[in-house]
Amino acid sequence: MSIGGFFLLLFLSILVRYLGNKFVPVLMPPGRLKTWGIGIVGGFLGSYAQKILWHGPQIANIYILGAFIGCSLFVLGWGLVPFFKIAIGKRP
């Protein structure tokens, strides 16, 4: 991943954090840095999955659609972890 790709993933994770706080604030994980890090990992995995499955638009070797979807799902999944812990009876 190039430095441009890293900054693109950082921008996508900040965008997902902002949109998540506007639409579903309960599900957003606490802490900006943690959410940005989770978003970058999710964006990288989503971009890699898009590279394997189908090709589409890319900027700086990052597949945009896959990165955005991966980032969103990874942050959403991380935000749902406390609810799963409550559902199975463990304290968060």
Domain ranges of the chain: 3-87
Q: Is the pLDDT of residue 92 over 60?
A: no
For 3-53, how does the pLDDT look when each residue is reduced to its tens digit (9 = 90+)? 888 888 888 888 887 877 777 777 777 777 887 888 888 888 888 888 888
Q: Is the pLDDT of residue 1 over 70?
A: no
Is the sign of the CA dihedral 33, 78, 60, 1 positive or negative? positive
Q: Which pLDDT value is given to residue 10? A: 83
DSSP the chain: --HHHHHHHHHHHHHHHHHHHHH-GGGSPS-HHHHHHHHHHHHHHHHHHHHHH----EETTEEHHHHHHHHHHHHHHHHHHHHHHHHTT---
Q: Which residue did the predictor score with more confidence, 67 or 29?
A: 67
| Exposure class string for 27-49: b at 16+ Cβ within 10 A, else e | bbbeeeeebbebbbbbbbbbbbe
Q: Which pLDDT value is given to residue 86? A: 84
Confidence of residue 83 (pLDDT cuts 50, 70, 90): confident
Q: Which residue did the predictor score with more confidence, 53 or 2?
A: 53
